[in-house]
């Protein structure tokens, strides 16, 4: 397990607990009481730390190297039923954007999401979760396929942003994202969107226009990352904590602003501490959302989605 800077008190107590249990195994000394006391202190410390997380600490947790990524979620949700589909039929297959068909129970879904890598080699292979235009065009192709066959769409957001390279701009990055936003607003099938990690800028919105949008507890969703915001306003990354607070990017902030529909609870310490529980919560959220959306006619579905986004940003003095 890797620990973030604010998690160091937890690391110390977990190391103490390991030593205590080791002494109990290797000697005849009864350390049961001592181990129990450390466990109590560990639980108390965890609750205190994770109850009072700052916006920047949430951002750090969303990027935790042990946090489950899109494919982890899809595999847990669909078992061996997932069939990945490739290519945008124009340029190539973007490895940062994945999509395909899978079943939760007896219900088929079209899953689409950004995929990050686990180590240097896979991060380069997945382009650090930053999609090129062909990734967004692949996503749209799969959404249109889902619409054709009446299959609901589930999008999982986890990206530091769309790829900003020259070749991406040459192939129409802005147009690809804008096209997706337009097409998703009028897609004639239910769309369930979940932010499972980082939800940065247009890179996330390009597959983030949903009938319902949920955020996992330790994720963020914003027009810009705290570091980029800090570098623009203060010409330095040093003010990233201040920028994170000002951007109101946490799940709680987004819910207060009525920009998302709900927050998915995570296990104490984050999704990486207890992956199975996190996956079950996501599955429950998807099935509950679909149960409500499937009752709407196609016309009602599109009308409600359009109205939902038209209301955003309204201000009454």
Tell me the per-residue pLDDT of 149-182, one tens digit each, with 9 for 90 and over.
999 999 999 999 999 999 999 999 999 999 999 9
pLDDT at 110: 98
Over residues 209-223, the mean pLDDT reads 97
Using DSSP, state whether 143 is helix, strand or coil.
helix
Q: How far apart are CA 143 and CA 124, in angstroms?
A: 26
CA atoms of 317 and 30, how far apart (whole Å): 67
* DSSP secondary structure letters along 274-296: SHHHHHHHHHHHHHHHHHHHTTS
| Mean pLDDT, residues 42-69 | 95
Is 291 a residue whose pLDDT tops 90? yes
Is residue 45 very low, low, confident or very high in pLDDT (cuts 50, 70, 90)?
very high
Q: Is residue 185's pLDDT more than 90?
A: yes
φ, ψ for residue 194, nearest 5 deg: -130, 125
Measured between alpha carbons, how far is 21 from 39 in angstroms, rounded to an integer? 11
Asked if residue 28 has pLDDT above 90, the reply is no
Q: 192 phi and psi, to 5 degrees?
A: -115, 120
**Across 95-108, average pLDDT:** 97
Mean pLDDT of the 221-243 span: 95
Element housing 302 (H / E): helix 298-311
Residues 6+ apart with CB under 8 A from 317: none
State the pLDDT confidence band at 314, using cuts at 50, 70 and 90. Answer: confident
Query: What pTM value is reported for the model?
Result: 0.93
Taking a C-beta distance cutoff of 8 angstroms, is the pair 154, 115 a contact? no
pLDDT at 82: 97
């Amino acid at each position: 397990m890797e620990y973030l800077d604010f998690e160091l008190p937890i690391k110390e107590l977990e190391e103490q607990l390991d030593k205590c249990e080791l002494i109990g195994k290797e000697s005849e000394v009864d350390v049961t009481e001592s181990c129990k006391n450390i466990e109590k202190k560990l639980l108390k410390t965890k609750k205190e730390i994770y109850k009072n997380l700052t916006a920047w600490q949430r951002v750090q947790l969303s990027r935790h190297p042990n946090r489950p990524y899109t494919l982890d979620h899809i595999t847990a949700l669909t078992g061996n039923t997932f069939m990945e589909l490739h290519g945008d039929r124009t340029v190539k297959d973007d490895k940062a954007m994945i999509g395909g068909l899978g079943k939760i129970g007896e219900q088929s879904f079209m899953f689409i999401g950004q995929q990050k890598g686990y180590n240097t080699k896979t991060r380069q292979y997945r382009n650090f979760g930053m999609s090129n235009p062909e990734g967004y065009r692949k996503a749209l192709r799969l959404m249109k396929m889902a619409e054709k066959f009446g299959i609901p769409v589930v999008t999982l957001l986890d990206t530091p942003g769309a790829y900003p390279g020259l070749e991406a701009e040459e192939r129409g990055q802005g147009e690809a994202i804008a096209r997706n936003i337009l097409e998703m607003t009028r897609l004639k099938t239910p769309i369930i969107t979940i932010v499972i990690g980082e939800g940065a800028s247009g890179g996330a919105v390009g597959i983030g226009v949903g009938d319902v949008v949920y955020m996992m507890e330790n994720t963020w969703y914003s027009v810009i990352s705290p570091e980029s915001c800090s570098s623009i306003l203060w010409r330095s990354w040093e003010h990233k904590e201040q920028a994170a607070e000002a951007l109101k990017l946490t799940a709680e902030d987004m819910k207060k602003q009525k920009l998302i529909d709900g927050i998915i609870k995570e296990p104490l310490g984050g999704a990486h501490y207890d992956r199975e529980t996190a996956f079950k919560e996501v599955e429950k959220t998807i099935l509950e959302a679909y149960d409500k959306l499937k009752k709407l006619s196609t016309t009602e579905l599109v009308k409600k989605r359009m109205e939902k986004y038209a209301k955003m940003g309204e201000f009454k003095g």
